[in-house]
Chain A
Amino acid sequence: MNVDAAIQALVDAGVEFVIIGGWSAILHGSRYGTSALDICYARNSENSRRLVRALAPYHPRLRGLPKGLPFIWAQATLRDGTIIRLDTDLGKIDLLAEVAGLGTFDEMTAGSIVTEAFGRQVRTLDLKSLIKAKRAAGRDKDLMVLPELESLLEAEEP
């Protein structure tokens, strides 16, 4: 996963997004690795256009789509679902229009923070929101990281 290049492409294209999931946990100090970059993006027409343009050079395809089946990367692709899981030349990128427990991009910006990382200023979930999202997702891999995140939260409390 070339996460630096992926983040830089998104930021430089002016895409409005929040880093969620494993990479958000890593920014907060988690030691768990992750295979995909998960982002929640603003689902308006202009932002969708920017997102499509930003990722187009990296040949996105729906993950799991059999080889040979045609796939067109376009704004219409984003309209087809709230979670789009992509394989790209940069690695796996998951695009979410909504996050369980937190809502849409607009609803989650209050629970997010801006930080310097990946060579850019990026927005990611704050630790409390990340814990809430992980708990709401409820998969084994989400629940497994909770003790670590809750420890970080408790350690950093004033």
Chain B
Amino acid sequence: MRALTPEELARAEDRLRNPAPGSRIEAAKKFGIDLTLLIGQLRLTPAERARQMHEVCQIAERVRGAARKRKP
């Protein structure tokens, strides 16, 4: 797995911005998936995607910890 080349990324972005009728991408859009978020993810390397989610998890954990402490 690797980051997409500029050409691959441009093609993927175009497909996500302009889903072909009857495509799985169109179905996902109708399902409620925010395709612009996927474009953002495709611009990252797998390592960057993992790091981003890791940071989100760490923040969520801190918030949960703080909420637990505030419970009477």
Give chain A's interface residues, CB within 8 Å of chain B: 1-4, 23, 26-31, 33, 113-118, 124, 126, 147-148, 150-156
Enumerate the 4 nearest inter-chain pairs by beta-carbon distance, A residue then B residue, closest first: A29-B41, A147-B28, A115-B1, A155-B12
Q: Are B28's CB and A148's CB within 8 A?
A: yes
With A124-B1, A156-B12 as contacts: A115 and B28 at CB distance below 8 Å: no
B4 in contact (CB, < 8 A): yes
Show 9 A/B contacts (Cβ-Cβ < 8 Å), sorted by A. Answer: A29-B42, A115-B47, A116-B45, A117-B47, A118-B47, A126-B1, A147-B24, A151-B25, A155-B42
B63 contacts chain A at the CB level, 8 A cutoff? no
B27 contacts A147, C-beta separation under 8 Å: yes
Q: How far is the CB of A91 from the nearest CB of chain B, in Å?
A: 8
Q: Is the CB of A151 within 8 A of B50?
A: no
Q: For B49, what are the chain A residues with a Cβ–Cβ distance below 8 Å?
A: 26-29, 117
CB atoms of A155 and B46 under 8 A apart = no
Residues on B with C-beta less than 8 A from A148 are 28, 33, 38
Query: By the criterion CB–CB under 8 Å, are B27 and A4 in contact?
Result: no
A3 and B37 contact, Cβ closer than 8 Å, known pairs A26-B49, A154-B15, A156-B4: no
Residues on A with C-beta less than 8 A from B13 are 155
Number of A-B contacts (CB under 8 A): 89
From known contacts A151-B28, A154-B25, infer whether A29 and B38 are also in contact, taking CB-CB under 8 Å. yes
Q: A3-B50, A155-B42 are in contact. List 12 more A-B contacts (CB 8 A).
A: A26-B53, A27-B46, A29-B44, A115-B47, A117-B46, A118-B47, A147-B24, A150-B27, A151-B28, A154-B24, A155-B25, A155-B38
Q: Is the CB of B50 within 8 A of A26?
A: yes
Given A115-B46, A147-B27, A147-B33, CB of A155 within 8 Å of CB of B56: no
Cross-chain contact B54 with A152 (CB below 8 angstroms): no
CA distance A3 to B55 in the complex (A): 10
